[in-house]
């Protein structure tokens, strides 16, 4: 292991943080106006420009060396799903900057502002209740059918939450239901971006950050086999991408741990509490 560890720049991190929100606010206004134009192309052009602007700031301001690999694994035609590792607020920017007409699944928390909700609706995003449940599955099924008829690429984070770099959450079954309804390949995607921009942290760390598209999982697998293949592919390759010569935000003791943050825990407990009365009633009858 090298003794050279680039130091995080507090000033650079704050400059990036400020510019990130300035650019985001500016594009929120621009995209809000683009949402008034008929058709989806103007909106997607605005979102592409926004994500590429943030990607540029990541490189120019905080010295994150971005590398996108494995694009040869992406299907050449037809609808498919991308299922990436989610370590950083920056993950979505890297992914979205590579596709012009990308649809995506977003939690309802992001849509609490009217302008954001308008932009998401125009962009064709699937906004779901993060607490899950049968209603969400029904909604996902309807939205997936609509997106498939448009022959679009879609992405969903299979963990459902940001994971601290080196760790993982339990993989949620929503990605399987989408895979089954879409009846198309799923492309896992691995990353180590969390070493440079961990979750929502202000501090950024210079160094290499890779987003890698992996070999597609073909349609038609049963749930357990599909989930095992997806999780193994993403987690194994994401750990292999970790830069042990330049740790950045990574704590090596965290590698491979399954964690549950307070948000994920609260939502899991809410789901369990909602089904417990029915289970108790069934046990008594």
Q: Which pLDDT does position 100 carry in this prediction? A: 84
Q: Which pLDDT does position 207 carry in this prediction? A: 95
Strands 186-191 and 207-213: antiparallel
Q: Rounded to the nearest 5°, which phi and psi values hold at 187?
A: -100, 110
210 Cβ contact list (under 8 Å, min separation 6): 66, 67, 68, 69, 190, 191, 192, 193, 241
Q: Which pLDDT does position 133 carry in this prediction? A: 54
| 22, part of any domain | yes
| 112, part of any domain | yes
Instruction: Please tell me the pTM assigned to this model.
Output: 0.83
| CATH number for position 38 | 3.40.1130
| 256, part of any domain | yes
Name beta bridge partners: 106. Answer: 127
Q: Which pLDDT does position 2 carry in this prediction? A: 45
Q: Which pLDDT does position 3 carry in this prediction? A: 45
| 285, part of any domain | no
Q: Which domain holds residue 36?
A: 10-280
| 163, part of any domain | yes
Cα dihedral sign, 97-217-127-142: positive
Q: How far apart are CA 100 and CA 209, in angstroms?
A: 22
Q: How far apart are CA 172 and CA 21, in angstroms?
A: 30
| 199, part of any domain | yes
Q: How far apart are CA 46 and CA 29, in angstroms?
A: 10
- End-to-end Cα spacing for the chain: 63
Q: Which pLDDT does position 137 carry in this prediction? A: 67
Residue stretches of the chain with pLDDT short of 50: 1-3
| 142, part of any domain | yes
| 4, part of any domain | no
Total tally of structural domains belonging to the chain: 1
């Amino acid at each position: 292991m090298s003794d050279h560890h680039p130091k995080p720049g507090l000033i650079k991190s704050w400059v990036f943080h400020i510019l990130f929100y300035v650019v985001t606010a500016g594009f929120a206004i621009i995209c809000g106006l683009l949402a008034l134009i008929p058709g989806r192309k103007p909106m997607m052009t605005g979102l592409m420009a926004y994500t590429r602007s943030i990607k540029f700031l990541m490189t120019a301001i905080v010295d994150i060396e971005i590398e996108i690999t494995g694009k040869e694994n992406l299907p050449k035609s037809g609808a498919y799903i991308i299922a990436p590792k989610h370590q950083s607020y920056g993950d979505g920017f890297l992914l979205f900057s590579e596709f012009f007409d990308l649809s995506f699944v977003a939690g309802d928390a992001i849509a609490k502002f009217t302008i954001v909700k308008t932009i998401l609706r125009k962009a064709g995003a699937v906004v779901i209740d993060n607490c899950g449940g049968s209603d969400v599955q029904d909604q996902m099924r309807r939205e997936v059918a609509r997106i498939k008829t448009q022959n679009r690429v879609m992405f969903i984070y299979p963990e459902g939450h940001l994971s601290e770099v080196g760790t993982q959450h339990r993989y949620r079954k929503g990605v399987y239901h989408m895979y089954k309804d879409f009846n198309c390949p799923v492309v896992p995607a691995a990353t180590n971006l969390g070493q440079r921009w961990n979750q929502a942290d202000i501090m950024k760390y210079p160094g290499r950050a890779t987003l890698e598209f992996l070999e597609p999982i073909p349609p038609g697998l049963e749930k357990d086999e599909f989930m095992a293949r997806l999780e193994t592919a993403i987690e194994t390759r994401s750990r292999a991408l970790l830069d042990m010569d330049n740790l950045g935000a990574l704590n090596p003791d965290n590698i491979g741990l399954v964690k549950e943050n307070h948000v994920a825990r609260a939502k899991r407990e809410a789901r369990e509490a909602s089904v417990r009365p029915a289970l108790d009633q069934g046990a008594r009858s």
